[in-house]
Chains A and B, each alone.
Chain A
């Protein structure tokens, strides 16, 4: 069974949208409550490599894309999660599953102000120490 079918079979009803933009670019959405289960399955069971996550500020809240690479076929599986909360966005930390996600969650935390619950070391990565609290440079409403 190929990886696409295994994902669909295992996650089934948890997938709220599935889109194949090209043969090597697969995007699917899950609810933010299911992110740990999804990432655990992709990383531990299927052995996909975590490339990076992209956090985006959208009008209704925030969107995070977790990009996983299947190096055998060159496919990129991007898991899309919506956080419908502008004031206090939060989501479970996937750095609890593998340490390679620690830095990017720290980056999204300081740049977009998304709180990662359970992150082992949630502190600033790139911003300087005297950067004002509560100012998030990658938000759309940010003004320097």
Chain B
């Protein structure tokens, strides 16, 4: 006789400390179903974008996420430039290279962040410390180019806001050179370690057909054998002017997802080096004034997958509709199949393997209520979430286990 037990994980993810709530339905140790509850992190950015003018929206969408904070403004300016006739026809050559440098630097810091967290979670705290240590120089590079370690404020419709100084290029190259031995170490630590292999191989498998049906993207799709990458499929920035490879693995398990991300780090380093070498001199901004009526779609390959922005303009100075779809919106839903069939002990790393980003996923709702104007601080939210957890515990105690 088996009892179905519900194991609540959340509303704070044990790994990534972001608000989310998973209810695992288990029989013994085995996960038989999962309910994903999100919505703890709404800021109503789609609605807000309709009230900002085109220049302001780039700053607004930058704040969707602090980790992939160049992907959203980049996809947004691409969508607006799509209305204007396409990025390649609008943006000066030098700005294309700067855009790609920023985009790839962001991929390096994001993948290192995930690698550290994943290592921490399976009990490799050394990997965690190292990964975050070597992430720091990447943030320093951001600071050198843009003045900011996060939220770079460099993208604008028609170009970029800041140039890379000639004297900075050798410093950036030196920092990249110093990063490669660290990447070699991670590759060795993950790919040659029998314990990590035993822990991650065959865990949380997402098959190729499941990846297609759930429309997953990015490293999650590429680890399941789907050969897709927006950078190659619809080149933007300087991605079609330099040589690099799309990393694809077949197994679909967490090990494959880790391998894809580690190997992509090398590709990003190589891409930035090539951009710094090939970057022509010239202006960095086309000085776009008016946005004509029309609709445009912008897509970039964020660290987590395709980031999709749709902008509709009616000829005024603000968009009348701005649809944002972050990669995690598609990837997180696939946990419904990746998690089921595994054990509870594998659940949390499986849930984290898509590198979920809730800030990105939940940016649509408006949480203002006229009849209840209470402003909540962090403590209130924590209290609320604890109350909800307690409530659910009580329910489960009363209903689940007999």
Q: Which residues of A contact B (CB under 8 A)?
A: 21-22, 24-25, 27, 47, 49-52, 54-56, 65, 67, 69, 71-74, 76, 78, 98-104, 107, 110-111, 124-128, 130-132, 137-138, 142, 144
Contacts and interface: CB of A to CB of B under 8 A. Distances in A.
Contact of A125 (B39, B216, B295): B39
B103 interface: no
What are the 4 closest A-B residue pairs judged by CB atoms, nearest first? A74-B234, A100-B215, A54-B323, A52-B325
Contacts of A131: 365
Interface string B345-379: 00000000000000000101111111000000000
Contact of B297 (A25, A71, A104): A25
Interface stretch (B41-49, B123-131, B252-260): B41-49
A127 B321 contact: no
A126 B235 CA distance: 32
30 contacts: A21-B294, A22-B85, A22-B86, A49-B212, A49-B217, A51-B299, A54-B321, A56-B312, A56-B321, A67-B297, A67-B308, A69-B299, A71-B233, A73-B233, A74-B234, A76-B299, A98-B215, A99-B333, A99-B336, A104-B325, A104-B329, A107-B364, A125-B38, A126-B42, A128-B39, A128-B365, A137-B47, A137-B365, A138-B47, A144-B368
Contacts, number: 109
Contacts of A99: 213-214, 333, 336
B297 A111 contact: no
Contacts of B46: 138
Given A54-B321, A128-B39, A103 B365 contact: no
Contacts of B215: 49-51, 98, 100-101
Contact of A78 (B85, B230, B294, B297): B297
Nearest to A55: B323
B362 A103 contact: no
Interface of B: 38-39, 42, 44, 46-47, 82, 85-86, 212-217, 228, 230, 233-235, 294-297, 299, 306, 308, 310, 312, 321, 323, 325, 329-330, 333, 336, 362, 364-370
B38 A67 contact: no
A79 to B, nearest CB: 13
Contacts of B38: 125-126
Given A51-B308, A67-B308, A71-B228, A103 B333 contact: yes
